[in-house]
Structure 1
Amino acid sequence: MDLHATVTTPESGGDDSPPAQMATCASARAVITALLHPLKSASQHAETDAHLAVSELISNALRHGGGLTGFKADLNPDATRLRLQVEDSSPEPPRSCPAPDPATPGGRGWAIIKRIATTCSVAILPGAGKRITVTIAI
């Protein structure tokens, strides 16, 4: 079973990387579905949460992070946790709106991610940008 999937972007790459392609929310959700579908232990709830989390992470990278520069998804060795990593070109950490206006869309993504994730971390990358890593129980 393949427990690792990577979607690279034009800015990433490397000798052993697949051909560069820009990750979209839909392509990232497809990667997650491919990772989780073979697992009998993966619940529909976990897959839905993972799809929502990755959509928010990528949307935030595109909207607030200066553009998506990397995406990676994999399972831990016993396939009980999904790890998502999203990189963007901004060193600014994500923020939650203290009290988003219920009548206005947006401002809830980071709070949603933190609620869904088992763990969540932000690392500033050398040079520029950041990597957000979240794990989700399967």
Structure 2
Amino acid sequence: MRKRGKATQPLSPVPHNAAAARDMVTRLLNSRFCGMHGESLADVVVADALLVTSELVTNAFRHGGGLTEFTAEITDEGLLVVVGDTSTRTPLVPDNDATEPPRIGGYGWPLVRRLADKVTITLHARGKHITALVPLA
């Protein structure tokens, strides 16, 4: 990935749902890549970035007690998304135990881990932050 200089400013408002978070990331990506000397991101890269954003925000609402923080910024390494929630429980990695009956759902977290170059979970007194770095090249 080519160096782009100084990172863009993080987005500050906390979106009220996953669709609003995707809209924020779409505007960020468009403002940075569309129209600049013919540059644009491949559709699959945008889809991956939006999918990671959507899964993290949806999980914060569904499993984390609500979304408390959301930032997205473009760095030299890619799209950096940070999602905060009020739970200190970390996401579960589904077992591939064939003796257990199949369960519905549980695909989001493995998908985030697959699409992001780096995923970290930081616990703190008021909950946790999940940070995902999605490559843009």
Verify same fold: TM over 0.5: yes
* Rounded Cα–Cα distance in structure 2 between residues aligned with 1:23 and 1:46: 24
2:63 matched residue in structure 1:
64
- Aligned partner letter, 2:48: D
1 CA distance for matches of 2:80 and 2:7? 14
1:2 CA displacement: 8.5
Contact 1:67 1:89 in 2 (8 A): yes
Point out 4+ residue stretches in structure 1 off by more than 3 angstroms. Answer: none
SS at match of 1:6: coil
Asked if residue 8 in structure 1 is aligned to residue 13 in structure 2, the reply is: yes
Q: Which residue of 2 aligns with 1:97?
A: 94
| 8 Å CA contact 1:66, 1:90 repeated in 2 | yes
Identity %: 34
Q: Secondary structure at the match of 1:73?
A: strand
Q: RCO higher in 1 or 2 (8 Å CA, sep ≥ 6)?
A: 2
* Structure 2: gaps of 5 or more residues: 1-5, 34-38
Alpha-carbon distance, 1:121 to partner:
0.2
State the aligned residue count: 121
Larger displacement relative to structure 2 (45-54 or 92-101): 92-101
Distance of 1:29 and 1:59 partners within structure 2? 11
**Correspondence 1:14-93 to 2 at 5 A:** 22-37=15-30, 38-39=32-33, 40-76=39-75, 78=76, 80-93=77-90
TM-score, length basis structure 1: 0.78
1:49 deviates by: 0.4
For 1:134 and 1:2, the matched residues in 2 are separated by 16
Q: Aligned residue for 2:132? A: 134
Q: Deviations over 1:86-129 (max 9, x none)?
A: 0000011111221382xx5311111000000010000012x220
- Given the two structures, how large is their TM-score scaled by the length of structure 2? 0.79
Which secondary structure state, in structure 2, belongs to the residue aligned with residue 95 of structure 1?
coil
Over the residues paired in the alignment, what is the CA RMSD in angstroms? Answer: 2.1
**Which consecutive unaligned segments of at least 5 residues does structure 1 have?**
10-21
The 1-side partners of 2:28 and 2:41 are apart by 10
